[in-house]
Amino acid sequence: MYVHGGHDIREGVTDSIWKIDLNPKNSKPEWEKLVYKKKNSPGPIAYHTLTLYKNYVVLIGGSNMGVDSTKDYLLELTTLEWQIIERKDKNAPKSIDEHTATLVNEKLYIFGGNISGFKSNQIFVFDISKKKWSAIETENGPCERSCHSATLSKECIYVFGGKDQDTNKLNDLWEFNIKTSKWTELQSKSDLPLSRSGHSTCLFNNYLVVFGGIHELTQEMNDIQAYDFGQKQWFSIVEEISSPVHTNPYGGIYSPGRKSFTKSVTAMSANKNHGSNRNVQSRIDQRNNDFSINIHKTAINKKRSRASHNQTVLKSHLTLNQIEKLVLQKRKKQERISEETMLTSPTSLSMKNSFLIKTAGKAFDHYAYQNRKKKTSNLNHNVDVNLLQERQVGKIEGYTPKPRDGHTGLLYGERYLVIFGGDRHHMPFNDLFTLDLTKEIGT
């Protein structure tokens, strides 16, 4: 994985480029800073896109503290020499940032973003081999937006979320057919994920997987949602207590391929303990610092009538106050960043504790907790601890990423969700997490 540029609140816009080996067999991955030749380099830049194409990385758009880039760049990875691509074509955007770039064969499909300061819903195509721009005329597509996501699947590009001209966050999902150049909005049989921007998406099997993003000011998230193309509905893979994500009508998490809803407690890491066969209890002891507890109702007995749903009794003796204290204890422990997850960083700034980072999210967390409390106020507030323990088997051990937006998210090896960087309340991260989606969704 290659990481270039970006904005640091204390160091400003950066111009460095780093790479890291994502091979899961590598238990101690290390960052390597590439020393490229300065001639023709883009200099400090942020809000651009970087795409790996053969032996090149292609840099499109971006800006530096409000100064828009009017050129694009190619970096040859063998010689580490930059090439400037002049944007003289009349079909090329004059300036663009916060857009998406999707590689289809030898062409980059550029959608949305800020063009000359205004949000766009245009599609531009950059032919890398010919270094030529073109524009695609479309009708009845998504509204203008930036900070959205775009993911390729066969002959279609899927665009989710972002923020519109008035900075309202979006949660709509659109399909762009590359052959016909037509847009289609995809509907869902279930509730939509919370609106967001600055999130990431990847395609895993028949699912569009969404991680994190920001809902409103100081309301970053670290949940994982997915759209099932076969069932045509959204479901939750990971619901963190600090994220106000929706729950299904039964209060649980949809399990693909099943008609029931299940509980889920999960964490992410890139550490060497992945694949361990230790027993369940030792896993739980290991994870006391790692998890925010997910509180959901148990599955409703199929034999019960709908009229009796509100009388569902949950297992276990824990009261709501006890659960709340347990969640707070785990969250405090989770604030300690494990040395095992800290790598030699692609930025010289380590994440600092600040008044803003400690206080701005508390009201948001309280709001999320109160929301959950209201939804279950007419029930016996207990947790099925045995089921909770069973759900932890097979999960990757480690630390869950903190809520964030503006990060890098990608799929590696057709199974691993990789999350790098981003920020919370404008304070940047430089950590790296992986999650084996085959253990969360299945093969």
Q: What is the CB neighbour count within 10 angstroms for residue 160?
A: 25
What is the C-alpha to C-alpha distance for residues 174 and 185, in angstroms, rounded to an integer?
Answer: 4
DSSP secondary structure letter of residue 307? G
For residue range 45-57, list pLDDT tens digits in order.
999 999 999 999 9
What is the C-alpha to C-alpha distance for residues 433 and 23, in angstroms, rounded to an integer?
Answer: 13
Residue at token pair 């997915």: 226
What is the β-pairing status of strands 427-428 and 408-412? unpaired
What is the C-alpha to C-alpha distance for residues 244 and 327, in angstroms, rounded to an integer?
Answer: 15
Helices 320-334 and 362-375 pack at an angle, to 10 degrees, of 150
Residue at token pair 């084996």: 436
Q: Is the pTM of this model over 0.85?
A: no
Average pLDDT, the chain: 74
What is the C-alpha to C-alpha distance for residues 397 and 340, in angstroms, rounded to an integer?
Answer: 11
In this structure, are residues 20 and 29 in contact, taking their beta carbons and an 8 Å threshold? yes
Q: 54 is in which domain, residue-wise?
A: 2-342+352-440
In this structure, are residues 50 and 33 in contact, taking their beta carbons and an 8 Å threshold? no
For residue range 326-356, list pLDDT tens digits in order.
666 655 554 444 444 444 455 444 444 444 4
Question: Phi first, then psi: what are they for 432, rounded to 5°?
Answer: -135, 130
Structural domain contains residue 87: yes
How many domains does one find in the chain? 1
Structural domain contains residue 366: yes
The answer, yes or no, to whether residue 211 has pLDDT greater than 50, is yes
Structural domain contains residue 413: yes
DSSP secondary structure letter of residue 103? E
The answer, yes or no, to whether residue 96 has pLDDT greater than 90, is yes
The answer, yes or no, to whether residue 106 has pLDDT greater than 80, is yes
Residue at token pair 């994870």: 287
What is the C-alpha to C-alpha distance for residues 204 and 202, in angstroms, rounded to an integer?
Answer: 6
- Give me the count of residues in the chain: 443
Structural domain contains residue 347: no
Structural domain contains residue 274: yes
The answer, yes or no, to whether residue 308 has pLDDT greater than 60, is no
For residue range 313-325, list pLDDT tens digits in order.
333 456 666 666 6
Any idea what the CATH number is for the domain that residue 129 is in? 2.120.10.80
For residue range 141-193, list pLDDT tens digits in order.
999 999 999 999 999 999 999 999 999 999 999 999 999 999 999 999 999 99
